[in-house]
A and B are shown apart, each in its own frame.
Chain A
Amino acid sequence: MTLLGQFALWVAFLIGSFGAVLSFSGRWQDRPDLERTVIRSVYALAAALLVASLSLWKGLFAHDFNIEYVAAYTSRNLPTYYIVSAFWAGQKGSLLFWAVVLACFSAVAQWITARRYADLLPYVAGVTNIVVVFFVLVMIFAANPFERLNFIPEDGRGLNPQLQNIGMVMHPPMLYLGYISVTIPFAFAIAALLRRRLDSGWIVAIRKWTLVSWVFLSIGIVLGMWWAYVELGWGGYWAWDPVENASFLPWLTMTAFLHSVMIQEKRGMLKRWNLSLIVATFLLSIFGTFITRSGVIASVHSFTQSNVGYFFLAFLLVAGVLSFTMLYTRWDELEPDAKLESMLSREAAFLFNNLALVGIAFSVLWGTLFPILSEAVRGTKITVGPPFFNRVNVPLGLFLLALTGIGPLIAWRKASARNLQRQFLLPVGFGLLVGVAVLIDGMRDMYPIMTIALGAFVLGTVVQEFYRGVRARHRMHGESVVPALFNLIARNRRRYGGYIVHVGILLMFIAFTGMAFRVDQEATLKPGESVEMQSPYGGTYKLTHLGVSQYNALNRVVSAATVQVDYDGKSLGVMKSEKRQHVDSFGRPTFEPSTEVGIRSGLREDLYIVYAGSVDGTEEAVYRFTINPLVWWVWFAGMVLVVGGILTMWPGGGGIADTRRTQAGYEATLVGAENA
């Protein structure tokens, strides 16, 4: 099968290159047969890479340990679902995964894009083909997943224990899907520039794709946080690691784009800015790949250091220079259709929102690269870790949170004093009330207080919008609350889906504040011994070590330490944390013992138990106990965020045509209503 896989890679390389050259030669214009050939090259490329992928999966499932990748990431006793995920567990497999998914996305884009954008599609094919060919080239020349060893090991090394978690089965593909699918909007943007079709049409063609990317990236990031929390055992979910930052950067610019694109749709403004954001998002997704795979910046969870990173750096530079040069040469053709009229307008609020998002992206990028800059300028190595990022980004994040509430409330074009009063009075009052309440409750940390108060303000704005919408439907159609709410969302999914996303964001901000009240304690306990811990809410946990049990599982020896948990004298049950010594099919240890955390998750706080090890090989266990407030809300907020995103991109329910009609109504001022 490796021969077939190798062959498929070469076929993909040739077909993709041919399609790209034909596309950019422009010879297909007025030649429908050649145009069809360009489009078909996309389908053929996807087919070739599917064959290559199936070949690798065949090797993984057949335990063909002569293939270096199979031997490095699987073993005979690896559970089946982890054999599936081994496909993207390593550098080489993940490159193939990236290429095949992008090829499939490109084929789907060609298949479903409306015919009115047919003149863009050959260029779109050219761009996506180039990106796919780049990945295929990297595989062929630097990281071939079909590379064979000159011997056949009895068994493979197995999958890293930390990757043997359901979160790691889902997190990388979701993140990749987010990274990869952003190539489609980028391809449409470049096609629009090449074709000089610089109206807002291409925006409509890519809006759904951008939302798809955003939703996948959001799911990928939240799943990554969840995996880090439940699997790595450090009790946190975000460490401002360069690889985490790399996934956050395109998310920020894409979020900025999803806001500013509304201004282009409604008012024909910000064309240059939107094109820049899409190009930047694509480049940042490649930058993330470069960071993960080059080893140029130390990271706790990057792939092994290799020369693959240089390929990505070169690609990043070439793609950046070409894209921005093209944008520059079309600059004059990207004149806005309308002008911004007032500082007190939704357009201005969205611009400030964009500034905040891009500013945070810059800040994260700056912090990620600052160690390199420092070493270049001063010759001194420094570390830029969580204390730095928290100090720099928390104020920016709070600014963004405030704008999350302000933006949707201000009228388009120009807000009057009456409009501002009508829209802001209740939410601002609610935010202040909550802020004062937490102060009276005894909270004294400035950032958590500000976060909670601003979160209440944003929640107030969203509730107010829903309330007014439901009330309007009730008045106009006589609907009761539930049908009115349902119809309100169903008929304007984009707007109300967006509000739900805002709720997800504010919940996440508030949940993050819980980490400021985290409590840690280490203890060494013999069976029957207890330790007590104070919860930040005032109660007392009593944690009693029951003992350690050992047993063999499919590919590991498990040592399970059990703890009886009582809270203020009331039993909460037994929790366990494990040590897992993974073994191959011959019973030989493959990795160092790994930790499985015990977590008791609640609305107020999580009790997080880590069995660190044993004293002198006895049942006397060393534990780390952690109380993490509000972590459950991070996952809930993530789900709300994703539900809102899916609702926003769901077909129908208030597309561009509806938006245009609404716009026409707002551009008019009725006779006798000028001063209203």
Chain B
Amino acid sequence: MTPTMTERREFFRQVALGGLALVGAGALPGQAAPQDAPGGGETGRLYNPNAVQQRAPTVGADNDALIMGVEKTLKCQCGCNLDIYTCRTTDFTCTTSPALHRDIVALRERGLTAEQIREDFVRQYGEQALMAPKAEGFNLAGYFVPGLVMLLGIGLLSMWILRRQRQVASVPSLAATEAVNISAVAGATPEELERLRRALSEVKD
């Protein structure tokens, strides 16, 4: 084998490998592909995919107003204390809320109404699945006690003030007594008193 033949074979081998590499790059999408220019339309692979959460593409049901509304009234069961919608669109580390979202989407696709979806969740997870308890039975205390306490407070306070008002009205006016004393001691003229009265009404506190 002459050196020229060896060189030729080596040349063809390199070309073949290069061609295979090019074909391979095309066949394995994204692998080692250069970053696209912004807005270029192609989707390149991230340099470090593990540095971000991997997500499923959004589907139409994700933006369904009814589903979003229902999710905001149901609690995520991961222990975060948030509603399903907030949990699945906030932390993105939770695996429970996306699963619950899929359940809700499935229930919706079966034709259930918002109320029926909520009832289904209560059957599965108990009453704590609701972000606010149903206004029935003992829960009524939760809803109405603050308002009743406030109304009771307003009633009692009003009665107390009115009783005090009556007590004060039944004794001679301190102000009237003082008024006599002031006019006597100050010896002010009617004009001076009128000026003082006007000034007081301006700087009323």
A-B complex is real: yes
Name A residues whose Cβ lies closer than 8 Å to a Cβ of B. Answer: 232-234, 236, 239, 241, 298-300, 339-343, 348, 351-352, 355-356, 358-359, 362-363, 366-367, 370-371, 374, 377-378, 380-388, 391-393, 395-396, 399, 411-412, 468, 472, 475-476, 495, 520-524, 526-528, 544, 546-548, 550, 557-559, 562, 564, 579, 581, 589, 592-593, 595, 610-620, 622, 624, 662, 665-674, 676
Stretch at the interface among B4-12, B17-25, B107-115, B178-186: B178-186
Interface bits B155-182 vs A (CB < 8 Å: 1, else 0):
0011001101101100001111011101
Which residues of A are found within 8 Å of B46, using beta-carbon distances? 548, 550, 559, 614, 617-619
Which residues of B are found within 8 Å of A378, using beta-carbon distances? 137-138
Query: 14 A-B pairs, CB-CB below 8 angstroms?
Result: A236-B86, A300-B81, A355-B150, A371-B128, A385-B131, A386-B132, A550-B47, A559-B46, A559-B48, A579-B53, A612-B92, A616-B49, A619-B46, A670-B196
**Separation of A363 and B40 alpha carbons in the complex (Å):** 55
Contact A619 B197 (CB under 8 A): no
Contact B127 A382 (CB under 8 A): yes
Q: How far is the CB of A592 from chain B (nearest CB, A)?
A: 4
Asked whether A523 and B133 contact (CB < 8 A) given A351-B157, A671-B180, the answer is no
Which residues of B are found within 8 Å of A548, using beta-carbon distances? 46, 52
Q: How far is the CB of B44 from chain A (nearest CB, A)?
A: 5
Contact B55 A622 (CB under 8 A): yes
Contact A396 B150 (CB under 8 A): yes
Which residues of A are found within 8 Å of B194, using beta-carbon distances? 672
Which residues of A are found within 8 Å of B3, using beta-carbon distances? none
- Given A341-B164, A366-B146, A381-B127, 15 extra CB contacts under 8 A: A298-B81, A299-B81, A348-B161, A367-B142, A374-B139, A382-B139, A383-B129, A387-B131, A476-B199, A548-B52, A614-B49, A622-B55, A669-B175, A672-B190, A673-B193
Contact B179 A340 (CB under 8 A): no
Which residues of A are found within 8 Å of B200, using beta-carbon distances? 665-666, 670
Contact B52 A559 (CB under 8 A): yes
Interface size of B in residues (CB-CB distance below 8 Å)? 90
Asked whether A359 and B133 contact (CB < 8 A) given A232-B90, A523-B58, A546-B39, the answer is no
Contact A619 B142 (CB under 8 A): no
Asked whether A550 and B48 contact (CB < 8 A) given A340-B165, A384-B132, A527-B39, the answer is yes
Contact A359 B161 (CB under 8 A): no
**Separation of A624 and B153 alpha carbons in the complex (Å):** 45
Contact B147 A392 (CB under 8 A): yes
Asked whether A381 and B126 contact (CB < 8 A) given A239-B82, A300-B80, A520-B68, the answer is yes
**Separation of A595 and B45 alpha carbons in the complex (Å):** 20
Q: Tell yes or no: B27 within 8 A of A by CB.
A: no
Pick from A475, A520, A528, A562: contact of B89, CB under 8 Å: A520
Contact B48 A670 (CB under 8 A): no
Q: Tell yes or no: B28 within 8 A of A by CB.
A: no
Interface bits B80-112 vs A (CB < 8 Å: 1, else 0):
111100100111110000000000000000000
Q: Tell yes or no: B1 within 8 A of A by CB.
A: no
Which residues of B are found within 8 Å of A547, using beta-carbon distances? 35-36, 38-39
Contact A619 B133 (CB under 8 A): no
